[in-house]
Amino acid sequence: MTRNNRILIGAGGVVAVLLIALYFASPILALHSLTAAAKAGDKVALEQKVDFPAVRESLKAQLKTAMTRKFEEDPELRDNPFAAFGQLLMASVVDKAVDSFATPDAIANMVATNEPPKAVSNAPGGPVLEPAKPKAKSETKVDYGYEGLDHFRVRYADVKDGEQLDLVLKRHGIFGWKLVRIELPGLTKS
């Protein structure tokens, strides 16, 4: 084997290792890019990094599941003949509320602060939400990892109260990722 062939094989090996490393590191890079865009309020970048229809659908599904669970666990509601009708009405209210709430600004705030907004009061048109304030890094524990090759979960847990917010990113292309799901505390069972 000639010296040039060894150099080409060595260079090819280095390139292959770099591509594999980039492939597995790409969701972390995407998460940092998403967080930077959220903190900067860069709506154009957010639109490229967030699949808003998928995030809205996941929030609707979580809220409807939590609502159904509450109806099933409450003996008074379970035996009430009007509960099913109320559940149907609540489903349409959930759809409208999520569509009006899951805006680029609200999602950017959740990503930037690592926590969901807080309900401040129950106004006639629904709860008034106050954007969350950023926490110090020492107050938040971050865990992340792959869920298969095409999904990546990031969990932000409050050190004090254990409340957690999960972000799920999905692979788009070889190195690209988009936020497709936000799991709110208390709505999903992990």
Q: Tell me, yes or no, whether 67 lies in a domain.
A: yes
Q: Tell me, yes or no, whether 103 lies in a domain.
A: yes
- CB-based contacts of 44: which residues, under 8 Å, 6+ apart? none
What pLDDT is attached to residue 146?
A: 95
- Yes or no: say if 110 and 182 are a contact pair by the CB < 8 Å rule: yes
pLDDT in tens, 52-68: 999 999 988 888 888 87
Q: What does the CA dihedral 25, 30, 31, 36 come to, rounded to 10 degrees? A: 130
pLDDT in tens, 93-109: 888 888 877 888 888 88
Number of domains in the chain: 1
Q: Tell me, yes or no, whether 112 lies in a domain.
A: yes
pLDDT in tens, 125-176: 444 445 555 555 557 888 999 999 999 999 988 888 778 889 999 999 989 9
The domain in which residue 30 lies consists of: 3-183
Q: Tell me, yes or no, whether 190 lies in a domain.
A: no
Query: Sign of the CA dihedral 76, 78, 83, 88?
Result: positive
Q: Tell me, yes or no, whether 89 lies in a domain.
A: yes
- Put simply, whether the predicted model's pTM sits higher than 0.85 gets the answer no
Q: Tell me, yes or no, whether 105 lies in a domain.
A: yes
Q: Tell me, yes or no, whether 188 lies in a domain.
A: no
Q: Tell me, yes or no, whether 189 lies in a domain.
A: no
